[in-house]
Amino acid sequence: MIATVTANPCIDKTVAVEKFDLYKMNRVRVIRTDFGGKGINVSIALQNLGAETVCLGFNFPDGREALENQLKGKNILHHFIEVPGKLRLCTKIFDQSLKHTIEMNEYGSGVNSEDGIRLIGQAAETAKKCSFITLSGSLPAGLGEDFYLQCARAVRQAAPDCRIVVDAEKKQLLKALETPLCFIKPNIHEFQDTFGCKVNSLEELDTAVQKVLDRYELEMICVSLGAEGAYLSDRKSAWCCRSPKVEVRSIQGAGDSVVAGMCLALEQGLPPEEVLHYGMAAAGDSISREGTQLCEREGFRQLLKQDIGIKRIR
């Protein structure tokens, strides 16, 4: 089983415009409204691909019924801690002419430190039954920048065989790296911002990633490169690939789908190049769907057959 933790859930409202104009009125078409958050997206993708998963995290009174009904409808196990406040709204404007998404994400309600301790305990206990646990996304006010570090340490103590994945950025990610992790998955902008570097080529990225792997007790790093594809490195090799050829309808959940695909491949003991392939196939099928709809098994299988030019670069 693969557990996911979502400390900052949200409502994703996706609208589309033919061509976004900063200075004129834009008429929009509402595509969909989805209840979720990064970890929840990972669990939905995993469930769609046939993996067993469980969602952990916070929920708020206004979103309790809708979010839980969505997960029940997909037969996804979930154990949320309900806290006071309101579910945050994240509005995504998809420019159809550019195939680009403009994101406007609210901060959301805060939580108290006692709630954070409860969630850490829940994650540690759940991890005893899991092969992986993912810690994904931003944190609500009230949780310190070391929340993921505290959570990872508690998981390692309670369940040493459970591998930990962190999908965060900046100080939250740097703090989490103080304990051993399985992999991280920043995009290229997050990687540069977090590790204070500027990379202009694949070779420069590979050099920067090797420095991060040398510095931290970390098995693997995957860096998504947007339309250019992705890069993956462990301590022995590095790989890159193109993005799958699909009709881009939305980019929501693409990174979360990469995490889901990678966890699925690693759980099956597949080699690094297949770990990368699984992640990109999952992401490719997700971005071919409108709104925050995640990859489905048939689309994923078809994209696994597509040649995305996976090659070893080190």
SS3 238: strand
Question: Rounded to an integer, what distance in angstroms lies between the CA atom of residue 208 and that of residue 245?
Answer: 28
Give buried/exposed letters for 22-56 (b at 16+ CB in 10 A, else e): eeeeeeeeebbebbbbbbbbbbbbbbbbebebbbb
**Cβ 289 vs Cβ 282: under 8 Å:** no
Q: What are phi and psi of 36, to 5 degrees?
A: 180, -130
- In this predicted structure, what is the pLDDT of residue 101? 83
β-pair partners for 56: 5, 79
Angle, helix 272-287 to helix 254-267, in steps of 10 degrees: 150
What total number of domains does the chain contain?
Answer: 1
- In this predicted structure, what is the pLDDT of residue 250? 78
- Tracing tokens 């770990």 back to the chain, one arrives at 275
Range of the domain at 101: 2-312
Q: Where are the alpha helices (DSSP H) in 81-144?
A: 113-127
Question: Rounded to an integer, what distance in angstroms lies between the CA atom of residue 100 and that of residue 254?
Answer: 13
- In this predicted structure, what is the pLDDT of residue 35? 82
pLDDT per residue, tens digit, the chain (314 aa), is 999 999 999 988 888 888 988 898 988 877 778 888 999 999 999 999 999 999 999 998 887 788 888 899 899 999 999 999 988 888 888 888 888 888 888 888 899 999 999 999 999 999 999 999 999 999 999 999 999 999 999 999 999 999 999 999 999 999 999 999 999 999 999 999 999 999 999 999 999 999 999 999 999 999 999 889 999 999 999 999 999 999 888 777 899 999 999 999 999 999 999 999 999 999 999 999 877 789 999 999 999 999 999 999 99
SS3 303: helix
The helix or strand, by DSSP H or E, that contains position 48, with its residue range, turns out to be helix 38-48
- In this predicted structure, what is the pLDDT of residue 292? 74
- In this predicted structure, what is the pLDDT of residue 267? 96
Q: Is the dihedral of CA 133, 6, 51, 268 positive or negative?
A: negative
| Separation of first and last alpha carbons in the chain | 32
pTM of the model: 0.93
β-pair partners for 223: 231
**Domain of residue 277, CATH code:** 3.40.1190.20
